[in-house]
Amino acid sequence: WIGLLLLISIATGAAIAAGGTAFSALIVDLTTEQERPRVLSVVWGMRLLGVLLGTVLVNQLFGAACGTEAGGDAVVAGLERLIVVTPLLLFGLGVSSVFGLERRDVQDQAVEDQGGIDNSRAVPESLSLLQSLGRLRSIPQVGRFTAVLCLFTFSMFLNDAVLESFGAAVFGMSICATTALNAFLAIGFFVGLGLSGFRLVDWIGNVSTARLGAVFAAIALALMLLSAPSQSLPFLHFALTIFGISLGICIHSSFTLMFTFVQPGRVGLLLGVWGALYAYSRGLATISGGGLLTLFETLNGGDVFGAYGGVFCLQIVGFLAAAVLMRRLDVTGFRRGMQSRFGNFMQSALD
């Protein structure tokens, strides 16, 4: 059964990644570079609305399991109801949301706007995926952006697997109370998305916005740690809201940067590479968060707060290091390098 669950999880992740890459490419096709930050804010806002609705759904389906004295049987019953209801709901939402979204006339118009040349097919078939990746790696800005994206993403999600357990272990919260912590994150996330997509990117640019979000995230994590000694839930909720705002800024700016580091004709390739790096960095962060928590707790003799503090402090260091590395990103240099590495192939295809 564990093996079957593993296969199902892999299939689910592959489907989400494939659909997400195609949807991201569609956003590039249907928006201009000036419109994209606002569109991404709306898309991520809709995702976070799903988190809020999911929190309500979990509380409704778990029922008696939300009590502080709930037994294991009540929790299992709640999980069974959740597993029965959510797949059907998600399938219906998924199909209805993308049905008829991409129309043939939109594709034809995009080709006409490019002077009748379909750039997506301009690269000759002799240039294989491995050759494309090899030429991509030779561009200095690709390596810098890869390092920043991976470190930035790793820092954002290092506490993904330990945040709810932090509320339970340090503050003594119930399972539904810890789940409700996501609501504070989501509210802050909405605010951060709006600030980043509709104000900050226009005012100070993508890179500066990402750096600002990283600094605010480090401050919010420090506030979360400071709320533990006093056992102040309002202080914790405030810190989580600030962290949600910073995450909204960070995630939006990192995705905007991903969309910035693309070129016509290679949108699918580049978004696939950036998306894979983002996904693996996020997965590694989630796994590492739980593993590091256990490691720190073992090393410090079972000090629970010290273990969580170690994870959060490492996360703070990651955010600050990413903010420093972002100073070396150069979108113009990346695009110049892309033209230099792929220009000959593009010209031969057009000839």
User: What pLDDT digit, counting tens, does each position of 108-123 carry?
Assistant: 554 444 444 444 444 4
Compute the Cα dihedral for 208, 37, 133, 8 and give only its sign. positive
CA distance 218 to 316: 5
Buried b (16+ CB within 10 A) or exposed e, 180-193: bbbbbbbbbbbebb
CA distance 44 to 162: 23
69 pLDDT band (50/70/90 cuts)? low
pLDDT of amino acid 218: 95
The 10s digit of each residue's pLDDT in 205-239 is 888 999 999 999 999 999 999 998 888 888 999 99
The answer to which of 128-132, 133-137, 240-244, 325-329 has the lowest mean pLDDT is 128-132
pTM: 0.73
CA distance 261 to 259: 5
- Read off the tokens for 224: 């979360």
pLDDT of amino acid 349: 40
Burial class (CB in 10 A: 0-12, 13-18, 19+), 289: buried
The answer to which of 11-20, 38-47, 334-343 has the lowest mean pLDDT is 334-343
Contact by Cβ (8 Å): 157, 211: no
Average pLDDT of the chain to the nearest whole number: 80
Using alpha carbons, select from 200, 195, 223, 211 the residue that is nearest to residue 155. 211
pLDDT of amino acid 71: 67
pLDDT of amino acid 123: 42
Report CA dihedral (237, 242, 247, 252) to the nearest 10 degrees. Answer: 130
The answer to which of 125-129, 150-154, 181-185, 264-268 has the lowest mean pLDDT is 125-129
What are residue 326's phi and psi, to 5 degrees? -65, -20
pLDDT of amino acid 65: 62
Burial class (CB in 10 A: 0-12, 13-18, 19+), 29: middle
Contact by Cβ (8 Å): 220, 320: no
